Amino acid sequence: MASSRRKRPARARRAKAVLILVAYPGTEVAEEAARRLVQAGVLACATVTEGKSFYIWEGREHAEAGAVLQGKTTAARARDAQRLIQETHPDKLPEILVLEIADGHPGYLAWVAAQVAPR
């Protein structure tokens, strides 16, 4: 007897999206980096927010105003983005975190992938 279950259509394969977080010592430098990274095609878009960082560096406690760049790209382009960030970042040891995006609006994620696809 044949199974009455229908096979589900295979999900379209889409590029794995990631979120890159980068701390900068100020809004101006973070905004400049955001523009450069988007223009270079390694980030689809970037959001810069102001904040304050608290940390210990070289044995001293710090509390400094700064900014965080949140960049959206694909896992395939994340290394290129990190390389460009490291080449231009003013800090000796920049905070660069790459976080996998588990899910999101399919249309938005497709747009991210299209924006950073090598041309």
pLDDT tens string 9-39:
444 567 899 999 999 999 999 999 999 999 9
Residue 8 confidence (pLDDT): 42
Does the pLDDT at position 97 exceed 80?
yes
Return the percentage of the chain with pLDDT > 70, whole number.
Answer: 89
CB-CB neighbours of 79 under 10 Å = 11
For the chain, domain boundaries: 18-116
For domain 18-116, give the fold.
Alpha-Beta Plaits (3.30.70)
Residue 94 confidence (pLDDT): 95
Average confidence score pLDDT of the chain = 91
- CA 101, 106, 107, 110 dihedral sign is positive
For the whole model, what pTM was predicted? 0.84
Record the tokens describing residue 22, joined without a space.
């980068």
> Hey, what amino acid is at 59?
G
Q: Contact 24/33 with Cβ under 8 angstroms?
A: yes
CA 94 from chain center: how many Å?
A: 14
